[in-house]
Amino acid sequence: MKNNIKIIIASIFLVGLSSCAKWTEIKPEGFLLEDEAVKSGEDVKRIVNSTYDALANRLNGNAQIFNELLGDELADYNINGDRREMYTRGVIAFNGTSNDNFRGIYRCIFRANTCLEYIQKFNDITPTEKSTLEGEIKFIRALSHFEIAKLYAHPMGTSSLVDANKEQSGIPLRTKVSIEPVIRSTITQTYNNIAEDLISAIELLPAVHPLNTARKVYADKNAAKALLAKVYFQSNQYQKSILVLDDLLSDASLKLSDSLNHFDSKSFNSEYLFQFVSTGTGDNRGAAFTGNYRTDNVAVPNLQISALAYNFMKQDTADKRLNLIKVINKGKPDEVYGSAKFNFDFIDVPYLLLTDMYLMRAEALAITNQNLTTAAADLNKIINRAYVDASTKVMTGSELADVIKFRVRNERRREFLLEGDRIQTFKRIGANGEIQTPNTIRNATFNCNGLIFAYPQTEVTIGFSQNPLQTCN
């Protein structure tokens, strides 16, 4: 087994940025042993860079679209094959598309663990460089585990999802270099582990990453804080999220963009706390977004906005975000709706946004019924930007907590249309024990097992708990 691990480590290093092969299936052809493949701190740097790149291949719109397919904001049009299985909430252990994404993200975790194992062995990089690299590695590992948790486990919360005598299942946590089978941790262990990685990353990362010039390509201290706040928020740990957000948002250098389009990087770049960067049409890290949603170069986009989502958006004609929706064949029987957010030849993919941070703090404060003046001020930042005349729409802070909470959630839905947020918000709220209106999305309650994917069959070993199939349609 030791020699097999060496082969895999070397193969990962050799294939670099472009490999899409399953790491469990890499053949030992033309390989080097690990000590020959990873010979210096510079080699570790290159593997970390390649891992950012590999992660971008997973979050290029594909993982976000998988989330949208489970929800209600995509029209039932041109959804076929494995994606059809996702849309009908019947993802089985042999769904090749979901399995490829699963293995691809775990390859990123494997690379991160490899780098952690080697980083202290070399003296050709400075202690400061080692600290920064270790912080980046833990950020990447936390982000990867978080993305798996959102698709393969129900969210953590106060509502019982399983037998009261058995704690809810989380995901397999991989924290060391190994290809041995790993059973699922509990959901509490899952989120605690992710948080621990990010708390460590915050301590290790610099406030300003030396390689971040015009864009936030590499994780820095604020990126780790933002992700930690999001992890706490998604797992219904609102007080912890507030504390991290208070710290993050006290940074006076952070400025909201005037733009309404998160994907217009020229106008919105100032808001990005962490992003996956494209360099041109041949290196489009948002290819799944542009390929499926773009409306300016096709008669009808591959994926369309549902009538339900469009009707929600058009309720307020003063909302300037309506300009990002294109009505196709208007007034005709085949009228459909698309998004103009992604009408670029190539786009950066924003993963952590300042807009999201303000909306998270506003909602967390409203949920916990505290400091409603700050909650209203955070929300007003988004309202003032989004409406033609916001003077009649801003909050005063004197409203009931539930009123502010309801408004925050509506603004979140409007802001993040088609960005993979809607279904996770629905599941989070349900897991927190709240009654939602409506209390289902396309007939699925928040804890429907159809809202999580089945694990690849290769993961299901003795003691491994597979997600049961339940479509809830």
What does the pLDDT average to over 188-193?
97
Token code pair at residue 71: 């929800």
CA atoms within 13 A on the CB side of 417: 33
Query: What does the DSSP assignment read for 276-301?
Result: EPP-BTTB-TTHHHHHHH--SSSSS-
Contact 60, 25 (CB under 8 A): no
Take residue 225 and report the two structure tokens written for it.
Answer: 């804080």
Q: What is the pLDDT of residues 245-262, one digit of tens each?
A: 999 999 999 999 999 999
Instruction: Reply yes or no on whether the pLDDT at 7 is more than 60.
Output: no
How much is the pLDDT for 104? 96
Mean pLDDT of 266-279: 93
Strand-pairing partners, residue 186, are 169
Q: For residue 165, what pLDDT is reported?
A: 53
- Per-residue model confidence (pLDDT) at position 159: 63
Confidence of residue 213 (pLDDT cuts 50, 70, 90): confident
What percentage of the chain carries pLDDT values higher than 70?
90
- Statement: residue 23 has pLDDT above 60: no
Q: How many other C-beta atoms can be found within 10 angstroms of the C-beta atom of residue 160?
A: 11
**What pLDDT was estimated at residue 17?**
35
Task: Kindly tell me if the per-residue pLDDT of 330 is higher than 90.
Answer: yes
| For residue 454, pLDDT beyond 90 | yes
CB 338 within 8 A of CB 305: yes
Question: Looking at the chain, which residues constitute the CATH 1.25.40.390 domain(s)?
Answer: 38-281+348-459
Give the rounded percent of residues in the chain with a pLDDT score beyond 90. Answer: 83
Confidence of residue 166 (pLDDT cuts 50, 70, 90): low
- Whether 43 shows a pLDDT value over 50: the answer reads yes
215 phi and psi angles, rounded to 5 deg: -135, 155
Has residue 384 got a pLDDT over 50? yes
Average pLDDT in the 23-29 region?
29
What pTM value is reported for the model? 0.92
What is the spatial distance between Cα 292 and Cα 300, in angstroms, rounded to a whole number?
Answer: 10
What pLDDT, on a 0 to 100 scale, did the predictor assign at position 164? 52
Mean pLDDT, the chain, integer: 90
Tokens of 367: 């949920």
Q: How confident is the model at residue 423 (pLDDT cuts 50, 70, 90)?
A: very high
Task: At 383, give phi and psi (nearest 5°).
Answer: -60, -45
Q: Select the highest-mean-pLDDT range: 121-125, 178-182, 263-267, 357-361.
A: 357-361
Query: Does position 136 have pLDDT exceeding 70, yes or no?
Result: yes
Length of the chain counted residue by residue? 473
Whole-number pLDDT of residue 473: 79
Q: What is the pLDDT of residue 311?
A: 97
Specify the pLDDT at position 342: 97
Contact 248, 220 (CB under 8 A): no
- pLDDT digits 0-9 by tens, 389-400: 999 999 999 999
Q: Are strands 349-353 and 272-276 parallel, antiparallel or unpaired?
A: antiparallel
pLDDT at residue 378, rounded to an integer: 98
In whole angstroms, give the CA distance from residue 184 to residue 314.
43
Beta bridge partners of 319: 387
Mean pLDDT of the 37-59 span: 91
- How far are the Cα atoms of 85, 377, 397, 453 from residue 82, in angstroms, in the given order? 5, 43, 46, 12
Residue 267 tokens read as: 């106008």
Fold of 38-281+348-459: 1.25.40
Q: Does 13 have pLDDT greater than 90?
A: no
- Residue 470: the pLDDT is 87
Residue 180 has a pLDDT of 87
Eight-state DSSP code of residue 345: S
What contacts 287, CB < 8 A, 6 or more positions away? 60, 61, 346
The three-state secondary structure class of 365 is helix
Helices 221-234 & 238-249 angle (0-180, nearest 10): 160
Q: What is the pLDDT of residues 98-126, one digit of tens each?
A: 999 999 999 999 999 999 999 988 989 99
Looking at residue 161, its pLDDT comes to 52
Question: Of 9-23, 28-42, 65-79, 435-449, which gets the smallest average pLDDT?
Answer: 9-23
Residue 154 reports pLDDT greater than 90? yes
Number of continuous H segments (helices) and E segments (strands) in the chain = 17, 4
